[in-house]
Structure 1
């Protein structure tokens, strides 16, 4: 069984590399990706307006990775970066990812929020943006969300399921300190309820 998985993975990356060549031709100078890397065939890249994606060598993009740049957004990805299954990067301003950064499954990165403070329909109010910087040698665990204006210092670890914002010093371990709450079915704050 392991041999069949290896063959499937190899074919996936071969077709993914061919797809990346086609995407690179389609977007011309707005996508500067080194073809030395591994790209799943299910990777989705969308570059709108005058935005750009720039990547160095040895980029790994596994199944379901989605990258979207819009407005004047610039996404810079360093060497030896690994984007695990179902990661999402949505860039309207600037996202910089250093060298040797690895992402767990389903990490989401947004350098913008909807401008909900204006009157009117939220989707028509535009966005508030702020750059994101993820420095070298960072590991971001599965299901994390990185919000606008975040800077993660070098050599840091972000624990799974953490929402990250603000400035994280280098050599940090960041995690959400949530306590697991367990209650019996039919009880709410220790009182019996009828369902």
Structure 2
């Protein structure tokens, strides 16, 4: 029985070592002028890029998982957090968790407290390629407290997701979703109310 637990114990030790090596991300954040609260942890390399004069603020006790097996559902890419214009503001609340999540702000992205982003999620307030005449203006994104985004969810510009809402796996969120609901689909729609 003890031998069977050895693999789990070894995995737990290596995971803690990865989090210790993850502290190098704090140096990268400092280099890019990203403000990070206390006790934020990294497993694997997280990429930061802050456009001059813009701001990126990350709260306390957040977690960024970027290694392929740092989340056993499977992480396809590292976490990437960026601002892409000088007016952009990106704010992440306390106790938020990200697995291979890409967040790109041209205007404003505000992520509340206790938000969980499943593997390979994307949050953006722009269509990107702003020089293309087919692209519209960036529009702010707001994700309320206690929101859970399932695996592969994409949140696009101009969306507000109300607090406590759960967005189902593989959903494409193109319009705002109210608080305290389960929503899913492409495009994402409310499918059930949650008890308040």
Specify the alignment match of 1:82 in structure 2: 97
Pairs within 5 Å for 1:38-187: 38-63=41-66, 64-71=78-85, 72-84=87-99, 86-114=100-128, 122=132, 128-176=137-185
Q: Shift of residue 127 of structure 1?
A: 5.9
Extract structure 1 runs of 4+ deviating beyond 3 A.
124-127
Cα distance in 1, alignment partners of residues 159 and 46 from structure 2: 25
Cα distance in 2, alignment partners of residues 39 and 127 from structure 1: 34
User: How many residues matched?
Assistant: 169
TM-score where L is the length of structure 1: 0.80
C-alpha RMSD over aligned residues:
2.1
Is 2:171–2:186's contact at 8 Å kept on the other side of the alignment?
Answer: no
Specify the alignment match of 2:26 in structure 1: 21
Q: Shift of residue 126 of structure 1?
A: 7.1
TM-score where L is the length of structure 2: 0.79
Cα distance in 2, alignment partners of residues 54 and 8 from structure 1: 29
Is 1:66–1:87's contact at 8 Å kept on the other side of the alignment?
Answer: yes
Residue by residue over 1:43-83, the C-alpha shift from the partner in whole angstroms, topping out at 9 and shown as x without a partner, is 11111222211111010000111111111211110111000
**Quick check: 107-116 or 150-159, which moved more?**
107-116
Is 2:106–2:125's contact at 8 Å kept on the other side of the alignment?
Answer: yes
Give the match's secondary structure for 1:13. helix
Structure 1: gaps (5+ residues)? 179-195
Cα distance in 2, alignment partners of residues 173 and 59 from structure 1: 24
Specify the alignment match of 1:11 in structure 2: 17
Give the match's secondary structure for 2:185. coil
Is 2:25–2:45's contact at 8 Å kept on the other side of the alignment?
Answer: no
Would the alpha carbon gap of residues 46 and 115 (structure 1) be closer, same or farther in structure 2, given more than 3 Å must change? Answer: closer
